[in-house]
Amino acid sequence: MAEQDYVHMPSLEEYSKRFERFFKFKRSDDGILEVRMHTLDSHVRWSYQMHHALSELWTTIGHDTGNELLIFTATGEKWINEVDASSFQDVEQSDDDDQRFNVQIYDTLKVVENFINDIEIPTITAINGRGIHWEMAMMSDITLCTPDFILQDDHFMMQHVPGDGMTLALQNILGIKRGNYMSYLNQGIDAETCLRLGAVNEIVERDEIVERAWEIARTIMKTPRSTRRLTHHVAARPWRELVEQNLRQHVYAEMYSFNLVKSTHEFDKVEYKDDKMADM
């Protein structure tokens, strides 16, 4: 018998506690892990804290080999669509450049890179409503959305370079030209168009979407563990390559410009107006 035990790995119980202010966890006996974003058990309020928590989440659940399949969703009728403006002001009005670097470069890279590099199991995202930061949903193996979902990258309209991975996802899911057009003009496409163009795999009513994710998960779980995991490797390979080749140049560009123009986050500007819907 080995001379040493393995290093202690955080148990689901332990990390459920650690992340409790950001995520609710539910895991079946065979390892299907449902993670639900929340703020005070209601709609997510976006903040640098949630941004950072997500990047830590991917790593934590990815390193727990007891997790066999990830279902990711959010609370209530929205995806990520409310904001804690004070969180952004804390950083943007501070003189602490180390903190600025941490949120601008480190966290912005890691929220995507950790999802791609640390999660080595099949992933299903159930987008439960409108919102931003759907790049992790798009980079999931399987993506469900509710009928009211709008796919839209509002960086450019908010005066930011669209460098955080959303436009990278659009270019590769919808095609270079559609992605660029939507990004420049802040146009969105609705759930039906997403389905037709291959951005999402199924449209499901809100009260059924998480159960549908579980149904798919249970089907996938009928296959052996090594098959499931290596099939995820095959499924995620295009994203691993795209992220490695592109994300850093995009993030650096966004943050260079953000600072040069002394930008701030003004999320109240985000909107999904009818005249912002692309005809695709």
Residues with catalytic function: 135
Q: What is the CA radius of gyration of the chain?
A: 19
Applying the rule CB under 8 A, the residues between 64 and 93 that interact with a second copy are 65, 84, 86-87, 90
Find all residues with CB under 8 Å of 51, minimum gap 6, and list them. 103, 107, 108, 111
Q: What x/- string results for residues 123 through 142 when contact with a second copy is judged by CB under 8 A?
A: ---------------x--xx
Name the one range near a second copy by CB under 8 A: 110-118, 126-134, 204-212, 267-275.
110-118
Residues 21-40 that bind a second copy (CB under 8 A): 21-22, 39
Gap between the Cα atoms of 71 and 140, Å rounded: 10
Q: How far apart are CA 227 and CA 238, in angstroms?
A: 18
Of the pair 148, 278, the CB lying nearest a second copy is at 278
Q: How far is the CB of 178 from a second copy (least distance, A)?
A: 5
Asked whether position 195 contacts a second copy by CB under 8 A, the answer is yes
**Residue from the set 224, 268, 273, 274 that interacts with a second copy by CB under 8 A:** 224
Contacts of 52 (CB under 8 A, 6+ apart): 103, 107
Contact between 238 and a second copy per CB under 8 A: yes
**156 backbone dihedrals φ, ψ, rounded to 5°:** -60, -40
Among 11, 42, 94, 249, binds a second copy (CB under 8 A): 249
Q: Is 219 in the site for a second copy (CB under 8 A)?
A: yes
273 binds a second copy (CB under 8 A): no
Q: How far apart are CA 79 and CA 83, in angstroms?
A: 12
Distance, in Å, from the CA atom of 265 to the CA atom of 159, rounded to the nearest integer, reads: 9
Answer for which of 92, 156, 212, 272 binds a second copy (CB under 8 A) is 156
Task: Please state, as a whole number, how many other Cβ atoms lie within 10 Å of the Cβ of residue 183.
Answer: 21
